[in-house]
Amino acid sequence: MRFTRVLGAALLALGCAAGPAAADSSPSPSASDGGAGPTRAGTSFRTATEIEQDQRATASASAGDYLYWSFAADAEQRPTVRATVKLPDAHTAQTWQVDVYDGLRRRQACQYGAQTRTAAQGTASIDLTCVLRTVRAWSEPWADDPLPGTYYVRLTAIGLPAADLGLPVSTSVEVGAVNIGGGAAVDGSLAEPLVPGIAVTSERKDEDSSRKSAVLSSIEPDGGWSSGWWSSRWVWTGVGGILAALAGIGGYALTRGTGRPTRVPPGA
């Protein structure tokens, strides 16, 4: 009976711990749940337009332009970039590509997704997708792993003929992320996230001054940077310790016996 109670307590503890871990693997809300995003795009890394996760950004541009956006990704997240390009009515076949760079401007490979697509003549729009690898809290200096910090999205057409340069196009970009949880946790963290993001902004000075100053980017995840200090691995480690203790108690209860020792008569 006592061992049954011990086993029930162990199963209850395991069920309570499974709840947060299951929540970590759930996808982020869709873009329709968020507010309206920016309506412009930058033309370089330094002028990239900042967007939040689960927010749709739009921009009108010309074919041949390089369009840049930036977003923040934290440890244990797997970002997904989706881009849509609405093409003009009359155009030849066009090839569009979306690239993602980290805070050190290293191009990050897409784990899967249609990163480059060609639209045949008469196609109204084209959709691109890039699913990055899971962001790690720490990595070796020589590795090319995604790390917490700013990420840049670049959208452009490649190999355009001269006749198609300058045609008006409408673009939209959406960034989402799935929290992988403790399965992607590593033993280590960065001292600071990779946020070089230097954005040039205008400052209001005196009437006879129109200087500009460079300020650090303000983009960061909701709730700040975790830097890998917490993950569901802590929960599972604690649950493992509790289960080990309960197993020891249960084993002792089963093997100690229930009878009292027999007293030896004096002089026997």
What is residue 16's predicted lDDT score, i.e. its pLDDT? Answer: 46
For residue 75, is it within any domain?
Answer: yes
Q: Report whether pLDDT(56) > 50.
A: yes
For residue 116, is it within any domain?
Answer: yes
Give per-residue pLDDT as tens, 153-183.
999 999 888 888 889 999 999 999 988 876 6
Write phi, then psi, for 205 (nearest 5 degrees).
Answer: -110, -160
For residue 40, is it within any domain?
Answer: yes
Alpha helix segments (H runs only) across the chain: 2-24, 232-255
For residue 69, is it within any domain?
Answer: yes
What is residue 80's predicted lDDT score, i.e. its pLDDT? Answer: 96
For residue 16, is it within any domain?
Answer: no
What is residue 52's predicted lDDT score, i.e. its pLDDT? Answer: 92
What is residue 85's predicted lDDT score, i.e. its pLDDT? Answer: 95
Q: Which of 243, 258, 202, 193 is nearest to 221 (CA)?
A: 193
Q: Which of 63, 88, 87 is nearest to 162 (CA)?
A: 63
What is residue 31's predicted lDDT score, i.e. its pLDDT? Answer: 37
For residue 11, is it within any domain?
Answer: no
For residue 241, is it within any domain?
Answer: no
34, HSE (Cβ side, Cα atoms, 13 Å):
18
Poorest-pLDDT segment among 38-52, 153-167, 202-216: 202-216
Give per-residue pLDDT as tens, 115-159.
999 998 888 999 999 999 999 888 787 888 899 999 999 999 998
Average pLDDT of the chain? 76
Residue with more model confidence, 125 or 256 = 125
Q: Which CATH number characterizes residue 134's domain?
A: 2.60.120.380
What is residue 129's predicted lDDT score, i.e. its pLDDT? Answer: 97
Q: Report whether pLDDT(199) > 70.
A: no
How far is residue 173 CA from its own chain's centroid? Answer: 16
Residue 44: domain span: 28-230
Domain count along the chain: 1
* Beta-carbon contacts of residue 182 (< 8 Å; ≥ 6 apart): 21, 24, 76, 231, 232, 233, 234, 235, 236
Give the integer Cα–Cα distance in Å for 170 and 76.
Answer: 33
Q: Long-range contacts made by residues 115-123, C-beta under 8 angstroms, separation at least 24?
A: 116/158, 118/93, 118/94, 119/85, 119/87, 119/91, 119/93, 119/94, 119/95, 120/93, 121/91, 121/92, 121/93, 123/87
For residue 62, is it within any domain?
Answer: yes
